[in-house]
Structure 1
Amino acid sequence: MNWSYIFLMVACFIVGLVLLRGLFNMMQGGSSNKSQQLMRLRVIAQAIAVAAMVLVVWLSRE
């Protein structure tokens, strides 16, 4: 496996983990501040994952 695919899998795993943590927090009736923080963290992690995907595709074309 190439290092780029491993990085992409880790990025997607982190996004999924943050998403599940946020869902679990909402199901348990946790604080809304914590839910908002997890939502922001998920969006940032998603942006990084998408940017990494674009970068990998761009670099693999050369």
Structure 2
Amino acid sequence: MSQDPFLILIILACLAVVVVLMLGLGGFAKGSGWAQKNSNKLMQYRIAAQFVAVLLIVAYVFFRQSGGE
């Protein structure tokens, strides 16, 4: 199971969501000029990354239930 490339891709997608979220929250908490300019864009990236991660998880579950290895 740890050698499943699809599972590794899902883990990487989830980590990307966490990284973008932390960048957005960290910038928001800092309140610097950079954060004011980019916080909305970072949250848009988070939504996109989260969408991709959820699609990968749903596809993984679907293929596992249908017997695909």
The TM-score normalised by the length of structure 2 is 0.83
Match of 1:24 among 23, 26, 42: 26
Following superposition, the deviation at residue 27 of structure 1 comes to: 1.1
**Is the radius of gyration larger for structure 1 or structure 2?**
2
Q: CA RMSD for the aligned pairs?
A: 1.0
Percent identical residues: 31
Runs of 4+ in 1 over 6 A off after TM superposition: none
* Number of equivalences: 62
Question: One-letter code of the match for 2:14?
Answer: C
- Rounded to whole Å, the distance in 2 between the matches of 1:4 and 1:60 is 11
Partners of 1:34 and 1:16 lie apart in 2 by: 17
Report what 1:41 is aligned to. 45
Structure 1: state its 5+ residue gaps.
none
Bigger relative contact order, structure 1 or 2 (CA pairs below 8 A, ≥6 apart): 1
Could you state the TM-score of these two structures normalised by the residue count of structure 1? Answer: 0.92
* Structure 2: distance between partners of 1:5 and 1:59: 12
